[in-house]
């Protein structure tokens, strides 16, 4: 079954509802992954990635004892080569609204690079006083990672912890307001696209 039809997603949404997360391989075509990878490394070469912070708006600060990644926020209008990816996100958003009644109305995405030795301590993807991030999205863009490279995503589930290897093309979805998680220290460069599907009031804009 093709991964971008409703019949493929319906049982997955049942799992997302009950388990709070999904880990999926083989969702994106090779050309979409290649376009994302090329864009990420182009921005990295151009010096467009900058140290990520914690907190929103007036609370925003850079603290490398909490997180060490560098990020570049994506603007759909300035990334024509990534349009197939954004179209897939439109499809996913529409399916979640239709079958999970989430009232999603937008998204925000950035490229993320974790240099060797960096990490992101345990946290939840919501800012204080904000609740517009509903579904967290992580798509891994490293071709050659293997056992021992580190950088795993640790999900703190209600009854257990789950380690997710950051394998190329792997997609992780989880409930932003429910699951705490962390990125373990990486021993090699770790690349991903990270973002959130939002219930976004007009004019709210990027929060972090």
Mean pLDDT of the chain: 89
Give the number of domains in the chain. Answer: 1
pTM of the model: 0.90
User: Is residue 133 a part of any domain in this protein?
Assistant: yes
Burial status of residue 20 (CB atoms within 10 A of its CB: 0-12, 13-18, 19 or more): middle
User: Is residue 205 a part of any domain in this protein?
Assistant: no
CATH number of the structural domain spanning residue 17: 2.60.120.620
User: Is residue 70 a part of any domain in this protein?
Assistant: yes
pLDDT per residue as tens digits for the range 87-135: 999 999 999 999 999 989 999 999 999 999 999 999 998 765 566 889 9
User: Is residue 153 a part of any domain in this protein?
Assistant: yes
**Inter-residue contact 40 to 139 (CB < 8 Å):** no
- Residue 188's domain spans which residues? 6-198
User: Is residue 145 a part of any domain in this protein?
Assistant: yes
The Cα–Cα gap between 195 and 108 comes to 5
Q: Is 78 left (phi over 0), alpha (psi -120 to 50) or beta?
A: alpha
pLDDT at 208: 37
The Cα–Cα gap between 60 and 143 comes to 32
**Does residue 33 register a pLDDT over 80?**
yes
Q: What secondary structure does DSSP assign to 164-188, as a single string?
A: E---TT-EEEEETTT-EEEEPPBSS
What confidence category does residue 170 fall into, taking pLDDT thresholds of 50, 70 and 90? very high
């Amino acid at each position: 079954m093709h991964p971008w039809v409703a019949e493929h997603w319906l049982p997955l949404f049942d799992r997302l509802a009950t388990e709070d997360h999904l880990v999926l391989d083989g969702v994106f075509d090779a050309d979409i992954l290649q376009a994302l990878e090329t864009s990420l490394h182009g921005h990295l070469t151009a010096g467009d990635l900058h140290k990520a912070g914690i907190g929103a708006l007036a609370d925003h600060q850079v603290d490398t004892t909490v997180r060490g990644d560098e990020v570049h926020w994506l603007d759909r209008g300035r990334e024509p080569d990534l349009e197939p990816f954004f179209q897939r996100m439109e499809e996913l958003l529409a399916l979640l609204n239709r079958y999970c009644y989430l009232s999603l109305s937008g998204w925000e995405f950035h490229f993320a690079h974790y240099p060797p030795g960096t990490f992101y301590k345990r946290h939840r993807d919501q800012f204080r006083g904000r609740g517009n991030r509903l579904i967290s999205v992580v798509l891994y863009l490293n071709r050659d990672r293997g056992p021992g490279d580190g950088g795993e995503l640790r999900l703190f589930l209600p009854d257990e912890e789950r380690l997710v290897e950051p394998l190329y093309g792997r997609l992780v979805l989880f409930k932003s307001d429910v699951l705490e998680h962390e990125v373990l220290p990486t021993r090699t460069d770790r690349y991903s696209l990270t973002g959130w599907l939002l219930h976004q009031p007009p004019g709210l804009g990027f929060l972090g």
